[in-house]
Structure 1
């Protein structure tokens, strides 16, 4: 792992279409920069912060389930601030608010790489933020998903790509009032099959160095 000297804390936020390699890029940056990577780990931290079962955050994670509440049982151990006795449920909006606080707290504590979950919007006031969107051709992404999930046909994989992309788009658009995947929402958009993941890392490192986020 090649360590870089940080001038100040920074946040790299990576949005990604399904099967595009966005998480792999985040892992490469994590290995190169030596700073924490937050993906599913955000669910664990939000659950720890709020004393609410992780499964509830997982059910609401990057889904467009904001239309329906998640019914609570008496074993959730949630804080009074989020409990509504008259309705007896914790909505996905409330779960998002808790997760948002966790992301903002992590962003204020130190440098990190955040994958999805509207982190680019939630950290928009961060002084050293780099927002990235990773995508690729749908056919290539479907092949990746088919292999990853061991699906029987490319058509089935394409349907899964469309389903997950729609969930991520609806989730992001609903909570940010922005447009998921649209270039003008991000500092950098990447198609990994065109540039390669290693060169993509070099591009990002170069931008960070140019902005003064890191120095050799």
Structure 2
């Protein structure tokens, strides 16, 4: 681990990491748009970004949507912003500094944290939409596909989510309606007009 003291140094390192990305970049922006995300991450590199609702205005959302393949918006505010590019993580510490992590075990933990937040965030276009029934668009799609008999892993592939994410959504919906199994969730979903 190594500490960086000023914002210019942090931004420079992040740009360099993105330019040299090989597999995937993950950006969590809590206080400002990740303008530098578009500076790198070329063909063949999966680019994902999570923004907090207060870090993303309409103009910025349009730019971000063109620059990054997958963008989600998170309600609430995580403690720190971060960037994970392949096998390096940069954790922002305060308004100017950051900590650079290169230990594979710690980078894996930071990436897992990002992935957990990714499951709770909503796609950029769906961020302000919650239907009258209180379901997000992702939850609506999951419930409808589950009602058609699709298995969790198939639903996950169809929606570009992890199987674990699909299961979490179904567990939350089941808890919300007091269902104890998938059948009782289906009955409740039908009764509530979700399907």
What is the TM-score with the length of structure 2 in the denominator?
A: 0.26
Kindly indicate whether structure 1 or structure 2 has the higher relative contact order, using CA contacts under 8 Å at least 6 residues apart.
Answer: 1
What is the TM-score with the length of structure 1 in the denominator?
A: 0.25
Structure with the largest fraction of strand:
2
